[in-house]
Amino acid sequence: QVQLVESGGGLVQSGGSLRLSCAASGRTFSSYTMGWFRQAPGKEREFVAAITKSGGPPYYADSVKGRFTISRDNAKNTVDLQILSLKPEDTALYYCAATSQYYSTTYGTYDYWGQGTQVTVSS
């Protein structure tokens, strides 16, 4: 069992940056590939980024490549998402998730989810 708690969201202007963090409880954090998803109002939850249990290489949705960076610290049980050059279309509730699969961008394969942290980007 893994409990996930996200933090770091907020209201920022277009072009700004944020660093989202996800803290995991449980002693098996290093056994999971960790991912970030987001869901905008009226839209389906979509994959953003993920990093394998060993820490790399990470993979990203095409829409965020070059602006988002995912990283993890297995000693601290955390996974972060650095977001640069924010755009209004990045506005969404961002979720941290864990999967036992080695590689997955699919929502349904993730076993554990946090409650989400809101990112709002003003134009």
Q: Are 34 and 94 in contact (CB under 8 A)?
A: no
Task: Note the pLDDT of residue 78.
Answer: 96
Task: Note the pLDDT of residue 26.
Answer: 80
Task: Note the pLDDT of residue 89.
Answer: 95
Task: Note the pLDDT of residue 76.
Answer: 94
Task: Note the pLDDT of residue 55.
Answer: 76
Average pLDDT by consecutive 10-residue portion of the chain (123 residues)? 95 98 91 96 96 88 96 95 97 97 92 97 95
- β-strands 10-13, 117-122: how paired? parallel
Task: Note the pLDDT of residue 103.
Answer: 85
Give, in order, the Cα–Cα distances in Å from 59 to each of 9, 49, 70, 87, 120: 21, 6, 8, 20, 23
Q: Are 117 and 12 in contact (CB under 8 A)?
A: no
Residues belonging to the chain: 123
Task: Note the pLDDT of residue 57.
Answer: 87
Q: If we measure between CA atoms, which residue out of 39, 43, 9, 32 comes closest to residue 97?
A: 32
